[in-house]
Structure 1
Amino acid sequence: MSDEFELDTDDLTRRMEGAIAALRSEFASLRTGRGSASMLDPIMVDAYGQPTPLNQVGTVNVPEPRMVTVNVWDKSMVGKVEKAIRESGLGINPQLNGTIIMLPIPELNEERRRELGKVAGQYAEHARVAIRNLRRDGMDQVKKAKGDGLSEDDQKFWEGEVQLLTDQFIKKIDDQLETKQAEIMQV
């Protein structure tokens, strides 16, 4: 192999891992009929004149599988937190108990489960596109090196390495999607 060129597969791997991590956080925000503190992560509260993540104005707990609670630290913020949860589109009706907001997680009906399955599929497709873009970047580096004198055998080797990495990460995405869809459809 050529001494001049070596593709930085560690960088490519790290960037692909980032796409997988983003997919995991998107999947965590999908409501599956079970409570999870991460489902409230995308919610922003208008706190003291600026949007603030909900977990920075109160403590989020999951005392039982079908209940999430938010213990708001500042009593004056309870109404704003409740409003932010109602308007978040999660489909959860908050119940007040002093400074604690209780969020009972309703059962998902069959239609809603199918919709969530489609949303999970869209998240997975976005992750696949990100992986394919990284693959293209890797292939472009190899082609540029070919123009700089990389041998054809070395070019084939590095293209194979990039494709192997891509296939591994696409499989990880498909496996995570399958797991998430099974979790969504579980009654």
Structure 2
Amino acid sequence: MAILLPERNVELDRLDRRILVQLQRNNKIANIELAAEVGLSPPACLKRVKRLREGGVIKADVSLVDPELAGNSMTLIVSIEMERDRADIYRLFSQTILKAPEVTQCYQISGSYDFMLIVCVKDIQTYEDFVENTLRTDFNIRKFHTSVSLRTVKFETAIDLSRGES
């Protein structure tokens, strides 16, 4: 069963999903090995991977860095409530957050809060600096709540591509 992504003009079939599963495990896999894993010829596999990249299905090829080994041992979850529910306020906040290197993830959410941030810093002082220089300077923030992560139970970047598998 193929999955059509009309906004990207890309259709994902069973082989595309198998390719994506393998690339999520190891994006440095050689094309010849990838082709063997998914049951394609190397040229056909390379063509599919190129189409998936050009279609925006594969957004980026990255290396995941251990935050602690990079000196960022604190992960904080910050819930943000904006003063008003307005698109222009959300847009300005989003632009500010895109420039904040401490924020590794930002989600606009529903419910009691408007945004959820994942902030990764080396220590509490660095977080306090982020709060003073980024959050407290935005007068459109009504309030925010910070939770400190005690440990990572699960961190996964791969998405489940099993839907539609037969």
Larger radius of gyration between Structure 1 and Structure 2: 1
TM over 0.5: no
Q: Point out the structure with the larger strand share.
A: 2
What TM-score results when the alignment is normalised by the length of structure 2? 0.30
Q: Point out the structure with the larger helix share.
A: 1
What TM-score results when the alignment is normalised by the length of structure 1? 0.28
